[in-house]
């Protein structure tokens, strides 16, 4: 079975007591909602969920949830974890309509850092964002957005408007108007790096020159 496909069973028992019983039985209580159908309470096998959570794409991919054998196209909308144990407490899945855009958080993958001129010059890469909220048609939903920083120099900054988006994709943040073109990644001078060494060298040279002038006058 694909990591993007889940088998689930419908459930009629609800409430905190019922959820606790399910967890003791190795199940995860969950709900599917959205679309023209009523919300549906379901349960999934906890061990199968844990296997899928190791894959980054699971969080931003279209998931097929087979409820009592009937498939539903969904995306993972929310997941609650136990604060101290590796236990999934509850999951929310939202049904999708392939003709309508959905809003999802998509991870950013940064490439080219090993060859960027700014890095070779001693600069430090600073990641301001690691994911973005994207509105996109389900069929165009990417597993991630690639950010190429191979040409960046020291002092360069890439913003949201510099990202290459999938077909039909729009960034939620940019839709909020002026002032929301946020920085994504930059390369800046390391503290105590080359510029600091050069500045220190200049100060030493100036001091030596002053000493020589003083000796000449005496």
pLDDT, tens digit (0-9, with 9 covering 90-100), for 57-75: 999 899 999 999 999 999 9
Half-sphere exposure of 199 (CA within 13 A, CB side): 6
- Whether 192 shows a pLDDT value over 70: the answer reads no
pLDDT of residue 68: 96
pLDDT of residue 117: 97
Confidence of residue 164 (pLDDT cuts 50, 70, 90): very high
pLDDT of residue 202: 45
Calpha distance 78→44 (Å, rounded): 15
Strand pairing report for 88-95 and 27-33: parallel
Phi and psi based region of residue 112 (left: phi greater than 0; alpha: psi -120 to 50; beta: remaining): left
User: What contacts 24+ positions apart, CB below 8 Å, involve 21-28?
Assistant: 23/87, 23/89, 28/88, 28/89, 28/90, 28/91
Residue 168: phi and psi, rounded to 5, are 75, 0
Go through the domains of the chain in sequence order and give each one's CATH number.
Answer: 5-95 (2.40.240.10), 102-194 (2.170.120.20)
pLDDT of residue 191: 79
């Amino acid at each position: 079975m694909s990591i993007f496909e889940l088998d689930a069973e419908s459930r009629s028992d609800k409430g905190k007591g019922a959820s606790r019983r399910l967890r003791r039985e190795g199940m995860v209580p969950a709900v599917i909602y959205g679309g023209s159908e009523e919300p549906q309470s379901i349960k999934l096998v906890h061990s199968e969920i844990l296997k899928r959570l190791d894959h980054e794409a699971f969080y931003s991919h279209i998931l097929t949830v087979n409820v009592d054998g009937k498939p539903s196209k969904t995306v993972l909308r929310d997941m609650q974890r136990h604060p101290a144990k590796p236990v999934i407490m509850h999951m929310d899945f939202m049904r999708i309509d392939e003709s309508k855009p959905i809003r999802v958080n998509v991870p950013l993958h940064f490439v080219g850092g090993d060859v960027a001129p700014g890095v070779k010059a001693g600069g430090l890469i600073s990641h301001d964002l690691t994911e973005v909220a994207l509105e996109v048609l389900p069929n165009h939903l990417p597993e991630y957005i690639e950010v190429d920083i191979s040409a960046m120099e020291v002092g360069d900054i890439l913003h949201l408007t510099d990202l290459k988006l999938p077909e039909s994709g729009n960034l939620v943040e940019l839709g909020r108007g002026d002032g929301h073109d946020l920085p994504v990644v930059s390369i800046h001078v390391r503290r105590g790096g080359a510029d600091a060494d050069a500045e220190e060298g200049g100060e030493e040279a100036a001091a030596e020159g002053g000493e020589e002038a003083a000796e000449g006058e005496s």
